[in-house]
Structure formats: C-alpha cells, structure tokens
Amino acid sequence: MLVLMLSVVVLLVIGGCVCVFWAARGDAPRWARGVAKATLLGSELARSSNRNSPSQNGGDDSSSGGTD
C-alpha cells in the first residue's frame, strides 16, 4: 500500500514538472498552466518550510567557522 501511495506521489511530481516545462515553452493549454502554477507554489512552500526548520545537526553551529 505504501509503495502504491509513493508511486502516485512520484507520478504527480513528474506530471507537475512536465507541465512547468510545457508552460515555460509558451504553448500550454490553460489547465497545464494552472498545474504548473500549483507545482511552483508547492515547491516554494517546501523551500520556505525547509528554511524555517531547525538545523539538522541538533542546533549546533560548529560546522560554520570552526577551527581545524
């Protein structure tokens, strides 16, 4: 069941990327431009949530500017 859900998500992502490419070419129908806008909005939301999340190293900033 999990494999089925993940494959559906992957197919939706691939379809969204195809619509973004198609819309960027300029000859996409209105529904494809709508899917492209939704895909780009989803990617921006994912990026912003990734920026606002705490760092993956447990909040330790030792990796930036440390001495060797």
Q: Does the structure show a pLDDT above 60 at 63?
A: no
State the burial class of residue 23 (Cβ atoms within 10 Å of its Cβ: 0-12, 13-18, 19+): buried
In this prediction, residues 6-25 reach a mean pLDDT of: 95
Q: Does the structure show a pLDDT above 70 at 58?
A: no
Rounded to two decimals, the pTM is 0.66
DSSP character for 46?
A: H
The pLDDT, as a whole number, for residue 64 is 57
Q: Does the structure show a pLDDT above 80 at 11?
A: yes
Cα–Cα distance, 16 to 28 (Å, whole number)? 13
Per-residue pLDDT tens digits for 18-50: 999 999 999 999 999 999 999 999 999 989 987
